[in-house]
Amino acid sequence: RPHRWRLRHHPVCRRGKKVMIIILDGWGEQIPDDFNSINVAPTPTMDALKKTAPDRWRLVRAHGLSVGLPSDEDMGNSEVGHNALGAGRIFTQGAGLVDQALATGKLYEGAGFKYISSAFAQNTLHLMGLLSDGGVHSRLDQLLLLMKGCAERGAKRIRVHILLDGRDVAPGSAPKYIDILEKEFVDIRNMGCDACIASGGGRMAVTMDRYENDWGVVKIGWDAQVRGEAPHKFATAMEALKNLKEANPKLDDQYFPPFVIVGPDGNAEGPILDNDAVVSFNFRADRMVMAAKAFDLEEFDKFDRGVMPKIKYAGMLQYDADIELPKHYLVTPPLIEKTSGEYLVHNYVKSWACSETVKFGHVTFVWNGNRSGMFSSSLEKYVEIPSNKGIPFNDNPEMKAIAIAEKARDALLSGKFDHVRVNIANGDMVGHTGDFKATISACEAVDRAVKIMLDAVEEVKGIFLITADHGNAEDMVKRNAKTGEPILNSAGEPEVLTSHTCNPVPCIIGGPGLPKGVKFRTDLPNAGLANVAATFINFHGFEAPWDYEPTLIEYKED
């Protein structure tokens, strides 16, 4: 069909209604027991909305195949969740694309691989990224395959710069992944390739900052990886973990300071030198964009890189196709075009989007299909509320929820915008700390924020849609898959869950502007996040584009 941007009018929903879209990050649905922070927290506003089920409250799928992940074993995450919410369709995401490229060998045929492999014979190949099987930013099995594939294709020296996880996987699990990697090195060495870990650090402290919250995080990673400089030096990564943990028993994997691995002579094992190849093996963009800029850009002023080595750098994926970052990459990212934001602009709907720094790109960059910038600076406005810096999220569970809600309220009441969209980060960011008490406070703050925004919807006689991008805060413990009972550790305490979940998330509609008789249809029991875009496009008075996943609503005259 020839593509048309102008959308047909919806038969029931009228144009011009004010629509508030609220994304509660990390807010899933789970049995209401004592380990569900949302259940334990006082959340009167969200509780009241639940009573409108099934007409205006339902669950949607937010994990696995429903959001383009390789399998239904994969928990949801913010990138794939917001991609699906904003684009209204399901795309095979980075994780699956890398799997395919490795399985078919296509990865080794592309221009990106040719570029880095020209360094293999004489120089070192550095692989840098998140070391776990969380499947959110990277996957260990992909790293191992890539390492082997490079060794088979002539790499003579490989240095791995690891970032410890404990956020998408169990806290304290880092040694397990290091052990698997070290074992793989034995095979790689037998292939005539000298391979070892060169540096490391926890993902939240080193390199994997996002949305320019704190360039210092990227800088200390740079110093360790590129210059071989860090306050801590050890002979092996295992020794680093053991010593740093002994010095600070409360240290979680995600917050480990940077360390450098040194040889018997005390020199760093793998600084990045002229003519070396460097690959960041994360497929997910948000937390690699900043490091990719440091590695890829000639002009760079975010921190002092020192003497910049002349390297051949490639990303596992291209992290931002609009600005071509990085220029070289091993796997082509999903092409997520014709997103809801672009349609709204073409149909003269005025949008306003906001979150705090740590989630700002989720409702803008990721929502728009991993595109930086705007579709129209006259029809769109993006507002970023600076996140608190340097305070652990569990010491600050309210984060900026109320500030975002008040800004959204003001945007709606100003009458200048038809579409007001926010991401409230607390359930996710505090949930990731594994601190149960703090996560309860986080959920309470989220509920208060929702109330502020719904009151504004009431005032302008608008429509609201509340949903989440994936689960997190609703489950703080690891559970037995069959019984659902918490798994206990050796001390008899439930094992802490810091990661996201595979739970569905609520989707709630309402507000005085919602035409009478509009309710959730019942013929889409397996609907997911990708069905949400068609739904809010309807609320703006339009039929959704023909290729979007179907709307969640129907119209029934009573």
As a whole number of angstroms, the distance between CA 380 and CA 408 comes to 14
Catalytic pick among 78, 138, 355, 441: 78
Stretch of 109-117, 217-225, 273-281, 422-430 lying at the interface with Co ion (CB under 5 A)? 422-430
- Rounded to 5 degrees, φ, ψ at 383 are -120, 125
Q: Does 82 bind ligand 3PG (CB under 6 A)?
A: no
* Annotated binding residue 72: no
* Annotated binding residue 84: no
* Annotated binding residue 469: yes
* Annotated binding residue 359: yes
42's tokens: 């006082």
Q: Does 287 bind ligand 3PG (CB under 6 A)?
A: yes
Closest CA to 420 of 405, 408, 429: 408
Which is nearer to Co ion, 253 or 549 (by Cβ)?
253
As a whole number of angstroms, the distance between CA 350 and CA 257 comes to 44
* Annotated binding residue 285: yes
Task: Report the nearest approach of ligand 3PG to the CB of residue 78 (Å).
Answer: 3
As a whole number of angstroms, the distance between CA 132 and CA 263 comes to 25
Calculate helix-pair angle for 237-247, 174-190, nearest 10 degrees. Answer: 160
Which is nearer to ligand 3PG, 151 or 162 (by Cβ)?
162
Site for ligand 3PG in 207-246 (CB under 6 A): none
* Annotated binding residue 475: no
CB-count exposure of residue 403 (10 Å: 0-12, 13-18, 19+)? middle
Stretch of 283-291, 390-398, 426-434, 512-520 lying at the interface with Co ion (CB under 5 A)? 426-434
Going from the C-alpha of 115 to that of each of 1, 80, 159, 318, the distances in angstroms are 39, 29, 18, 14
Secondary structure letter of residue 64 according to DSSP? G
* Annotated binding residue 287: yes
**Torsion angle, CA of 142/111/190/175, rounded to 10 degrees?**
-30
Site for Co ion in 64-123 (CB under 5 A): none
413's tokens: 């009441």
Site for ligand 3PG in 430-469 (CB under 6 A): 432
Which is nearer to ligand 3PG, 426 or 538 (by Cβ)?
426
Q: How far is CA 388 from the centre of its chain?
A: 19
- Those residues whose C-beta lies under 8 Å from the C-beta of residue 215, and which sit 6 or more positions away, are 209, 290, 302, 303
> What 3-state DSSP class applies to 518?
strand
As a whole number of angstroms, the distance between CA 87 and CA 548 comes to 8
Q: Does 253 bind ligand 3PG (CB under 6 A)?
A: no
Stretch of 45-53, 74-82, 211-219, 440-448 lying at the interface with ligand 3PG (CB under 6 A)? 74-82
Which is nearer to ligand 3PG, 360 or 417 (by Cβ)?
360
Q: Does 396 bind ligand 3PG (CB under 6 A)?
A: no
Give the gyration radius of the chain's Cα atoms. Answer: 24
As a whole number of angstroms, the distance between CA 155 and CA 159 comes to 11
Quick one: what does residue 287 bind among Co ion, ligand 3PG, none, with the CB cut-off 5 to 8 Å set by partner type?
ligand 3PG
Q: Does 77 bind ligand 3PG (CB under 6 A)?
A: yes
In terms of residues, how long is the chain? 558
Q: Does 126 bind ligand 3PG (CB under 6 A)?
A: no
As a whole number of angstroms, the distance between CA 380 and CA 65 comes to 31
* Annotated binding residue 320: no
Pick from 167, 219, 328, 479 the residue near ligand 3PG by CB under 6 A. 167
* Annotated binding residue 189: no
Pick from 66, 78, 355, 387 the residue near ligand 3PG by CB under 6 A. 78
Which is nearer to ligand 3PG, 81 or 326 (by Cβ)?
81
Stretch of 36-44, 76-84, 109-117, 142-150 lying at the interface with ligand 3PG (CB under 6 A)? 76-84
CA-based end-to-end distance of the chain: 37
* Annotated binding residue 284: yes
Which is nearer to ligand 3PG, 77 or 396 (by Cβ)?
77
478's tokens: 């690891």
Establish whether 280 is a catalytic residue: no
Q: Does 428 bind Co ion (CB under 5 A)?
A: yes
Quick one: what does residue 136 bind among Co ion, ligand 3PG, none, with the CB cut-off 5 to 8 Å set by partner type?
ligand 3PG
Secondary structure letter of residue 364 according to DSSP? I
Closest CA to 27 of 67, 59, 73: 59
Quick one: what does residue 540 bind among ligand 3PG, Co ion, none, with the CB cut-off 5 to 8 Å set by partner type?
none
Task: Report the nearest approach of ligand 3PG to the CB of residue 256 (Å).
Answer: 16
Strand 505-510 relative to strand 57-60, pairing = antiparallel
Provide the annotated active-site residues: 78
* Interacting residues with Co ion (CB under 5 A): 428
* Interacting residues with ligand 3PG (CB under 6 A): 25-26, 77-79, 136-137, 167-168, 287, 428, 432
**Binding-site sequence positions for Mn(2+):** 25, 78, 428, 432, 469-470, 500
**Binding-site sequence positions for substrate:** 137, 167-168, 203, 210, 284-287, 359
